[in-house]
Amino acid sequence: EAAVTQSPRNKVTVTGGNVTLSCRQTNSHNYMYWYRQDTGHGLRLIHYSYGAGNLQIGDVPDGYKATRTTQEDFFLLLELASPSQTSLYFCASSDAGGASQNTLYFGAGTRLSVL
C-alpha cells in the first residue's frame, strides 16, 4: 500500500514565525505535491516537484517555498507566516504526474494555525 506521511499533524505558530512542513513518501514516486485546503474551496496547488532537486510553482505559491531533498522527501517552508496561511495542508505523490490517470496518494494532512 502506497504511503505518504506528513509531519507534524498539527502546528501553531505566530505571525512572522518560521514553519517547515515535512512530507515523506515510500512509493518510489517521481511526483510530489503540496496543496492547501480551505473551507469552501477545492484543494489548491502550492508547489510540486518531479524529482530530487526539482521544484515547480503551483497556482498559489506566494509566501511559500519548497524543497525536494530526495526522491522521498518534500518540504514546505513558510519563512514569515501570516494568518492567511492558516489552513489544512496536504502532501501527495504520484508516479507519472498529477494529471495522468495514475493514482494520486495523499498524506493525512497538517493543520496549521497562524495566530
Partner 1 sequence: KTQVEQSPQSLVVRQGENCVLQCNYSVTPDNHLRWFKQDTGKGLVSLTVLVDQKDKTSNGRYSATLDKDAKHSTLHITATLLDDTATYICVVGDRGSALGRLHFGAGTQLIVIP
> What residue ranges bind partner 1 (CB under 8 A)?
4, 31, 35, 40-45, 50, 59, 90, 92, 96-101, 103-104, 106-109
Smallest gap from residue 97 Cβ to partner 1 (A): 3
Q: Identify whether the C-beta of residue 47 lies closer than 8 Å to the C-beta of residue 64.
A: yes
Closest distance of CB 23 from partner 1, Å: 11
Peptide bond just before 83 cis, omega within 30 deg: no
User: For the chain, how far is it from start to end, CA to CA, in angstroms?
Assistant: 37
Smaller CB separation from partner 1, 17 or 52: 52
> 2 vs 17, which CB is nearer to partner 1?
2
Nearer to partner 1, 80 or 96 (CB): 96
Give the cell for residue 71.
526522491
Give the bridge partners for 7, in sequence order. Answer: 22
Residue 80 beta carbon to partner 1: minimum distance, rounded to whole angstroms = 27
Question: Which grid coordinates are listed for 56?
Answer: 515547480
